[in-house]
Amino acid sequence: YAMLLSLIFLIVLVAAVVGFVFRHEIKTNFESNLNLALRDYNATADRHSEAVDTIQRTLHCCGVQNYSDWERTEYFAQRGIPRSCCKSQDDCSEEDLKDPSKAKLKVFMDGCFFLVTSTMESKMSVVAGISFGIACFQLVGIILACCLSQYITNNQYEMV
């Protein structure tokens, strides 16, 4: 049991170190994937498109760096900026979303990349604290399992 807990502890430790060391690569990869999702965006039930809409609605953002990122997509040529960027769904017409100067007043100005990464970084201390707490419990479990093993081993020799 102690060996199993030790293995899990080492896996979590390695994952934390790798996540910390490669955090810049993770950000770069996220940005490129977000750019790809915008480029391939369509209003159907595509999971990437749904993810973009959910991020934009939840974080009140639009595009990768800002709303003008949508101007370089095929979707913008056909329908304009997606409705998930609108500040108010009632005050957002398709004509407004096709005109960048009008859309500037109706959509969120901030880009999603900065908001997602800043949200992740702000929550990182909470995740690190919880991970540290779990690691402490695992270490206590490892120590207690080793003590129990030692106690059982000592008692077997005394019985003989």
How many angstroms separate the Cα of 153 from the Cα of each of 6, 87, 159?
Answer: 20, 68, 10
Whole-number CA gyration radius for the chain: 25
Domain range summary for the chain, segments of one domain joined by +: 10-121
Farthest-apart Cα atoms in the chain, separation = 90
pLDDT higher than 90, residue 135 = no
Q: Which of 8-22, 52-66, 102-116 has the lowest mean pLDDT?
A: 8-22
In this structure, which amino acid lies at residue 119? Answer: T
86 DSSP 8-state letter: B
Pick the CATH number of 10-121 from 1.10.1450.10, 1.10.510.10, 1.20.120.160, 3.30.980.10: 1.10.1450.10
Alpha helices in 40-91 (DSSP H): 47-59, 74-79
Q: What is the pLDDT of residue 143?
A: 93
Q: What average pLDDT is seen over the chain?
A: 85
Token readout for 82 is: 């997606």
Q: Is the pLDDT of residue 56 over 60?
A: yes
Can you say whether the dihedral through the CA atoms of 72, 73, 77, 82 is positive or negative?
negative
Predicted pLDDT at 16: 79
SS3 per residue for 95-160: HHHHCHHHHHHHECCECHHHHHHHHHHHHHHHHHHHHHHHHHHHHHHHHHHHHHHHHHHHHHHHHC
Residue 110 has pLDDT above 70, yes or no: yes
Q: Residue 86's beta-bridge partner residues?
A: 107
- 7: pLDDT confidence band, cut at 50, 70 and 90? very high
Residue range 68-74: mean pLDDT, rounded: 88
- pLDDT for 45 equals 67
Which has the higher per-residue pLDDT, 25 or 43?
25
Amino acid at 29: N
Q: Is the pLDDT of residue 151 over 70?
A: yes
Which residues 6+ apart lie within 8 Å of 88 measured at CB?
106
